[in-house]
Amino acid sequence: MMPELPEVETIRRVLAKKIVGRRIVKAEVRLPNPAASRLSQNLRQQTRRLSRNLRGASIKRISRRAKYLIVRLGEALLIFHLGMTGQIFVIRKKEHTHTGMPELPDKHTYFILHLSGDSRLYFRDIRKFGRIHLIMKKEEKTFFRALGPEPLSAAFTPESLRSGFKRKKASLKSLLLGQKIVSGLGNIYTDEVLFQVGILPQTPGGCVSGKKIAKLHKAIPRILKEAIRNRGTTFSDYYDPESRRGGFQARLRVYGRQDEPCLKCGTRILKAVIAQRGTHWCPRCQK
């Protein structure tokens, strides 16, 4: 997996079951090499706060904002962003590990929470695009200030989309990926949403009709919810913190289906780079 909103939400739900109510016995940072890497810098910057403030804290609640996972500890919030390859595992010390699950901690494991009840949370990130932050509750608003409305909340409205797209000549693909007009969509779900709404990803934001905006506003939460119901999308060997795979990959309509027939009309699905990301669409269903 690489996590967009549905995958992070799936992880949130698993963590809520597994670690809420537990106490943090110790927080362990394992700085990656090279020391100049951004994850290493991020962890070094946060490491004192992490080890000083986490010990003894108890986990009250797990929440999510867009693709950020938030472990609520009362006044403090421990925030994870998983980047492209971040993973979180929770296992008991003696628990039999799943086949396909890495031996933990391995060389890609950069943060460990030792929890009461002999369980541990491992943060692992092969490409090191992930980040960890510890902030105070009062800083939460500022921390997330750049994010657009949460697509599964009432803050997300046709009007918020309309004003975001207004007079923009950037493509819908880049606008939806940008996290500013609406947050939580990544490369997969952006392609899926645009297919279901029947709009080409290269359409400039300013050229989208009110009718399409209304359809888009309905399709975004619908698809995200469908993906969450299926525990997100899993490629290759991803496992959520419970060692389970997602199931949405079987329901993808365009993502990864280049050269295959469109499920609606049979036309060959195209793929090209748009907004620097591999983008999939049906040239007949999307106008």
* Residues contributing to the site for DNA (CB under 7 A): 1-4, 7, 33-34, 36-40, 66-67, 81, 83-84, 108, 126-129, 146, 168-171, 174, 177, 179, 186-188, 232-236, 238, 246, 275-278
Q: Catalytic: 277?
A: yes
Q: Catalytic: 159?
A: no
Q: Catalytic: 4?
A: yes
Q: Catalytic: 222?
A: no
Q: What are phi and psi for residue 17, nearest 5 degrees?
A: -70, -40
Q: What's the rounded Cα separation, in Å, for the pair 64 and 66?
A: 6
Cβ nearer to DNA, comparing 121 with 130: 130
Cβ nearer to DNA, comparing 71 with 255: 255
Which is nearest to 18 in space by CA: 258, 243, 282, 283? 243
Which is nearest to 266 in space by CA: 249, 248, 282, 250? 282
Cβ nearer to DNA, comparing 47 with 171: 171
Cβ nearer to DNA, comparing 115 with 194: 194
Identify any residues that bridge with 70 across adjacent strands, giving them in sequence order: 63, 79
> Shortest Cβ distance from residue 229 to DNA (Å)?
15
> Shortest Cβ distance from residue 39 to DNA (Å)?
6
Catalytic pick among 67, 212, 231, 257? 67
> Shortest Cβ distance from residue 260 to DNA (Å)?
15
**Which 3 state secondary structure label does DSSP give 173?**
helix
> Shortest Cβ distance from residue 154 to DNA (Å)?
22
Residue 140 burial (10 A CB sphere; 0-12, 13-18, 19+): middle
E strands, 126-246, are 131-136
Catalytic residues: 3-4, 67, 277
